[in-house]
């Protein structure tokens, strides 16, 4: 029994490590390509700004998630050295929210840029979206920062009140239940999850409707339509993202439910998926962006040549 449990934890650490480092490499690739383009062109378009911030937040999230998982599974006692737990939890929450909200901004941006509607408000958004993107990104970062600070404050106060101290107050015993102190965090994080998920879902539905209507209008036109190609390419990207985002939303909800339980199988499964999401979605973004796809294929071809 003990051997099976140990084997399960070791396997989980190996999977999370592979996912985290693969995801970090993928997002570091996105950031490096965009930064090189930034240096060369001296400017970034709105899509590149979103991808740059998304890549940075995902890289950081994967780093801190790997550290948290490694400590929680292999060296749990080190995790409860003050203030390690509060710092790791708050930084992880900040980067996770930045990842969630910036990816939602990316979906909304694709929808507004590609979908065609004659509504005056939608036309206004299409004209102004490039100027709105920096503010949306700033709002996402500030909101994530507020979440991170709130998590740190509430966690620190809850642990100081409820945990038993040993070793002159430096080491915390982790055998207590403190979920009653986190109702505020649960409410705020739940609201953030639901809002971002609704934004992604609504953007996908709008783009689907725009594609359906555009396709219906083009039935009598035998000429190849570039707008149709843009619609279809964006839909493939956003639909795949919606599926992954939906699964991510489910696992984030499970995180709230099982957050007070330490080292159980469900928490490990949640960690495995949450570490996989940033890498998988970033791969989809790479192969939906011609510039990133070209660079990636070039790197892969060079690697194949060296192997051969």
Q: What is the 8-class DSSP label of residue 222? A: -
Closest CA to 90 of 140, 154, 139, 27: 154
User: In b/e form, how buried is each residue of 264-295, taking b as 16+ CB within 10 angstroms?
Assistant: eeebbebbbbbbbbbbbbbeebbebbeebeeb
pLDDT greater than 60 at residue 133: yes
Q: What is the mean pLDDT of residues 216-238?
A: 62
Q: Give the side-chain half-sphere CA count within 13 A for 182.
A: 21
Written as six digits, the tokens of 81 are 């050295």
Higher pLDDT, 47 or 245: 47
| Least-confidence region, from 17-26, 31-40, 71-80, 137-146 | 71-80
| Least-confidence region, from 3-12, 50-59, 128-137 | 3-12
Q: What is the 8-class DSSP label of residue 42? A: S
pLDDT range class, residue 31, cuts 50, 70, 90: very high
pLDDT greater than 80 at residue 224: no
Mean pLDDT (the chain, rounded): 78
pLDDT range class, residue 22, cuts 50, 70, 90: very high
CATH number corresponding to 1-291? 1.20.1070.10
pLDDT greater than 60 at residue 168: no
pLDDT greater than 60 at residue 245: yes
Closest CA to 52 of 132, 141, 123: 141
Give the Cα separation of 147 and 128 in Å (integer): 28
Higher pLDDT, 32 or 223: 32
pLDDT at position 228 is 61
The full set of domain ranges for the chain reads: 1-291
Higher pLDDT, 256 or 290: 290
């Amino acid at each position: 029994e003990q051997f099976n449990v140990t084997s399960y934890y070791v396997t989980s650490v190996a999977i999370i490590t592979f996912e985290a480092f693969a995801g970090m490499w993928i997002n570091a690739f996105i950031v490096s390509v965009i930064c090189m383009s930034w240096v060369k062109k001296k400017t970034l378009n709105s899509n590149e700004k979103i991808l740059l911030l998304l890549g940075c937040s995902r890289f950081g999230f994967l780093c801190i998630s790997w550290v948290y998982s490694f400590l929680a599974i292999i060296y749990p006692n080190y995790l409860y050295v003050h203030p390690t737990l509060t710092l790791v939890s708050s930084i992880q929450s900040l980067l996770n929210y930045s990842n969630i909200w910036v990816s939602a901004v990316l979906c909304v941006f694709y929808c507004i840029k590609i979908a065609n509607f004659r509504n005056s408000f939608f036309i206004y958004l299409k004209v102004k979206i490039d100027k709105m993107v920096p503010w949306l990104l700033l709002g996402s970062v500030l909101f994530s920062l507020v979440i991170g600070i709130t998590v740190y404050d509430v966690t620190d106060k809850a642990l100081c009140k409820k945990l038993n101290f040993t070793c002159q107050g430096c080491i915390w015993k982790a055998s207590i239940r403190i979920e009653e102190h986190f109702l505020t965090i649960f409410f705020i994080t739940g609201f953030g999850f639901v809002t971002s998920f609704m934004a992604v879902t609504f953007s996908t539905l709008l783009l689907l409707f725009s594609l359906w209507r555009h396709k219906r209008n083009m039935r009598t036109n035998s000429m190849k339509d570039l707008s149709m190609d843009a619609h279809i390419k964006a839909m493939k990207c956003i639909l795949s993202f919606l599926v992954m985002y939906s699964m991510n939303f489910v696992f984030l909800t499970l995180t709230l439910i099982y957050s007070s339980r330490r080292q159980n199988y469900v928490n490990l499964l949640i960690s495995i998926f949450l570490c996989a999401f940033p890498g998988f979605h970033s791969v989809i973004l790479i192969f939906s962006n011609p510039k990133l796809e070209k660079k990636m294929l070039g790197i892969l071809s060079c690697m194949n040549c060296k192997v051969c």
